Structure 1
Amino acid sequence: MAATAIKNHLPSALLPHHRESSPPKDDPKPLQKQSTQEIHEEREQEKRLVSQWEDHKLALSPSQVSQAPSQKQVGQSQRHLRCEDFDLVKTLGTGTFARVWLARLANAKREDRDKVFALKILRKVDVIRLKQVEHVRNERNVLAVVAGHPFITTMVASFQDQDSLYILLDYCPGGEVFSYLRRARRFNEHTSQFYAAEIVLVLEFLHEHEGVAYRDLKPENILIDAEGHLKLVDFGFAKKVDDRETYTLCGTPEYLAPEVIRNTGHGCAVDWWAFGILVYEFLVGQPPFWDQNPMKIYEQIVAGHVRYPSAMSPDARSLIAGLCTVDVSKRLGNIKGGAKTVKQHPWFKGTDWDALYHRRVQGPIVPHLRGPADTRNFDEYDPEPEGREPYTEELRQRWDASFADF
């Protein structure tokens, strides 16, 4: 059994993964040339929209989130915004072809000085060299579609310049759930239920409103915001599958569903399996299937025998058993009723799903912060290397049309 699984070891879960390519779209029609004054006015307007997005942030319903980005305050491509419109404060994470910065608007007005963002910068030449053009485009477009969901990282805007692509995201100062879980060793039942319930709302939206399989659910890809709520990040593996099956082998070994390992075709049901693994790791402190040799992990997963600690509640065991069912047709969340069958499980008894969605319930872990720009929950990184390969005129002529989405 040959399998390729990708584990993201980066401390920041804001970075894209590698995955399969898809054909590029048709080249866009050329834009009419604008005057310098018109460009300046539009650029200032784009900066105002970015500075004000949180002032207008509302609890959008799933149908409102699903609107085209042009109909929303967030998720839009900005034609004139540039990197120099931001002060880059500190690196939050690095990857093969991306670096994420804590950023704030340059020369901001007094009322905007505390407004910060996570700015993901992707160098075009590296994206091309690593054959990630379609992958990066896809991630940007998925983030645009889901922008505004209360528990998914918000893409405030995207833009580009001669050398780089930019994705401007809301900043989650609490850092990764993974870090809190390791410090606490395990979460108590209440904390586990609260954060699991928020993930259920995310999966319900992705699957039933967008037909998107997330495909990389794990604590490292979940951040905590300033109010103690979750934000799912890193949509590098997300794929719109609807009712079709896909055969890409991707994910993190401990969280892979049996059908992914067997390469028999998979869909959104893989997220419900991974959700069961996540709940187990919340409650126990480690996933149920683990070995230093990934192949041993795969063998355990395909066998599907979960061992439960004696202290685990019967309802928690029942939920995990229903989710971590090898037979996809019997897997909780994938059976008739979809996410509703998970929400109605006894383990979630007493959960006010409407209040939870609208963030009216206090999060159990509220990070202690010195201010909006506090970065204590993120690691230190080396400066960006100098002498990087240039994005030449030849590359520009060949590839710029492919980056038109930004």
Structure 2
Amino acid sequence: MYSRKNVGPSKDNNIRSDAEVQDGYTVQQQEQYTKYLRKLKNDFEETWCKKKKYTFDFKEFDRVKTLGTGAFGRVVLLKHLKSYKLYAMKVLEKEKIVKMKQVEHTLYEKRILEAIRFPFTVYMELSFKDNSYVYFIMPFVPGGEMFTHLRRLGKFEEPLAKFYASQVILALEYLHFCNLVYRDLKPENILIDKNGFLKITDFGFCKLLQGRTWTLCGTPEYLAPELILSKGYGFSVDWWSFGVLLFEMNAGYPPFYANEPMKTYEKIVAGKYRCPSGFNSDLRDLIRNILQVDITHRYGVMKNGVMDYKNHRWFKGLEWESILNCRTQPPYVPKYRGPDDTTNFERYEDEPMKTSPICLYESEFFDF
């Protein structure tokens, strides 16, 4: 498998329509769904404006094992000693965050994880800090990363790729409706829950967007041309990344890659790629309309918005409302032997956390 390095609604809120979604998504259905998105956006904005305070006692939890590692820290599985409930705790080292100039991104990630609530995104239960670290505590998603399953299978069969793609589209639609640009879509940042549905995670590059932004961030193979060229960009970069993800799910490798990042960037800016022979005409057409260097012709940011996706031939027969409410039977469900099963995650060495006797970088994390 190709490898790379980094640079829901409740029952009461189920979206239903008299028409069955078989061959597309009607304007009326989208209007109804938009009302629901407005409610979610209002909820997001109300939470965004509140400063939350949490209480946390490590003595009430057992540190089970490390689930993953990254540039700034690690993710650890926690078990509550009384309720036996499991959590994923993201531990970020203050010193590394400051040295890598990621303080603003970390503070943004905290606020975003507190405020978002959608079936296909993770969220934060609570957060806290000590002298050396900041901590995000989130629900444990036991199915592991999409990347792990994609590497094991080589590529996804088309029904599974279509099932996953629909959830990513809905998640991006929600984030963009809340004025959030995600900027780091890739299989490593998508988790699979015990029932087979997706959860987008790692909001370290996510940003509340007003107008355009210019920051270069993300993973080389997934960067959009306008981001590489420092033209200033908006939500269009997420849809480009979705096109790369769609290609990789169906092919097993991304459309643009080379041994060096600069050569990868050259291929992206040129917009040249070759689809495998196994791609059918509908999939080729969908990818062609997403991987458009000219954003005025890119699906997701054109006049019809996400309706270009929901009514595309490749998604014919998909019931979007059933996907949204997690009523569709997933084509694949990860093996899950019990609440604390971590076999879907890679094995990592556990390292002790050494807390400084003095508070480090107090001013930088004053607002955390």
TM-score clears 0.5 = yes
Question: Which SS does the other structure have where 1:361 is aligned?
Answer: coil
Moved more, 149-158 or 326-335: 149-158
Distance 1:76 1:373, change over 3 A: farther
| Residue of structure 2 equivalent to 1:222 | 190
Structure 2 residue identity aligned to 1:240: L
Kept in 1, the 8 Å contact 2:220–2:264? The answer is yes
- Separation in 1 of the partners of 2:290 and 2:51? 36
Runs ≥4 in structure 1, deviation > 6 angstroms? 56-60, 69-72
Task: Map 1:211-360; keep pairs closer than 5 Å.
Answer: 211-242=179-210, 244-360=211-327
Is residue 2:367 matched to residue 1:392? Answer: no
Deviations 1:157-195 (A, max 9, x none): 223345432211111111111111111111111011100
Q: Residues 126-205 of structure 1: matches in 2 within 5 Å?
A: 126-146=96-116, 148-205=117-174
Over the residues paired in the alignment, what is the CA RMSD in angstroms? 2.5
Structure 2 distance, partners of 1:231, 1:389, is 31
Which residue of the partner structure matches residue 401 of structure 1? 366
Helix, strand or coil: the match of 1:155?
coil
1:89 maps to 64
CA drift of 1:391 comes to 5.5
- Mapped to 2, the partners of 1:373 and 1:178 lie a distance apart of 21
Distance 1:104 1:7 in 2: 30
Task: Map Cα deviations across residues 55-97 of structure 1 (whole Å, 9 max, x no partner).
Answer: x99868534443446978xx98343223333211111112343
Q: Give 3-state SS (helix, strand or coil) of 2:335's partner.
A: coil
Deviation at 1:143, TM superposition (A): 1.3
Distance 1:313 1:375 in 2: 36
Q: Give the structure 2 partner of residue 7 of structure 1.
A: 5
Q: 2:213, 2:346 → 1: CA distance?
A: 36
Label 1:128 to 1:402 Cα distance change in 2 as closer, same or farther (>3 A). Answer: farther
With over 3 angstroms needed to count, the CA separation of the structure-2 counterparts of 1:71 and 1:58, relative to structure 1, is: farther
Q: Which position in structure 2 is the counterpart of 1:210?
A: 178
**Residue 194 of structure 1: SS of its match in structure 2?**
helix
- Judge conservation of contact 2:243–2:291 (CA < 8 Å) in 1: yes
Instruction: Provide the residue aligned with 1:102 in structure 2.
Output: 77
Cα distance in structure 1, aligned partners of 2:195 and 2:358: 44
| 1:43 paired residue number | none
Unaligned runs of 5+ in 2: 15-35
Structure-2 residue corresponding to 1:22: none
- 122-131 or 308-317, which moves further after superposition? 122-131
- Give the letter for the 1:122 counterpart: L
Question: Closer, same or farther in 2 for the Cα pair 1:126/1:287, shift >3 Å?
Answer: closer
What is the Cα deviation at residue 313 of structure 1?
0.8
Which secondary structure does the structure 2 equivalent of 1:401 belong to? coil
Amino acid at match of 2:69: T
One of 118, 128, 133 as aligned partner of 2:88:
118
CA contact (8 A) 1:103 1:117 kept: yes
Q: 1:177 touches 1:224 (CA, 8 Å); kept in 2?
A: yes
Q: Distance in 2 between matches of 1:58 and 1:178?
A: 34
Residues 93 and 77 of structure 1: CA distance in aligned 2, closer, same or farther (over 3 Å): farther
Work out the percentage of aligned pairs sharing the same amino acid.
43
The 3-state SS of whatever aligns with 1:180 is: helix
Evaluate the alpha carbon distance shift between residue 309 and residue 82 of structure 1 in structure 2; reply closer, same or farther with a 3 A threshold.
Answer: same
User: C-alpha distance in 1, partners of 2:357/2:298?
Assistant: 48
Larger Rg: 1
Distance 2:128 2:45 in 1: 15
In 2, Cα distance between equivalents of 1:234 and 1:57: 27
- Distance in 2 separating the partners of 1:173 and 1:314: 35
Aligned-partner SS, 2:125 = strand
Gaps of 5+ in 1: 1-5, 9-16, 18-53
Quick one: distance in 1 between partners of 2:366 and 2:205?
Answer: 23
Change (3 A) 1:163 1:224: same
Change (3 A) 1:182 1:394: closer
How many residues are aligned here?
Answer: 341
Q: Which moved more, 1:165-174 or 1:95-104?
A: 95-104
Q: 1:143·1:154 contact (CA, 8 Å) conserved in 2?
A: yes
Supply the distance in 2 between the matched residues of 1:225 and 1:394 (Cα, whole angstroms): 36
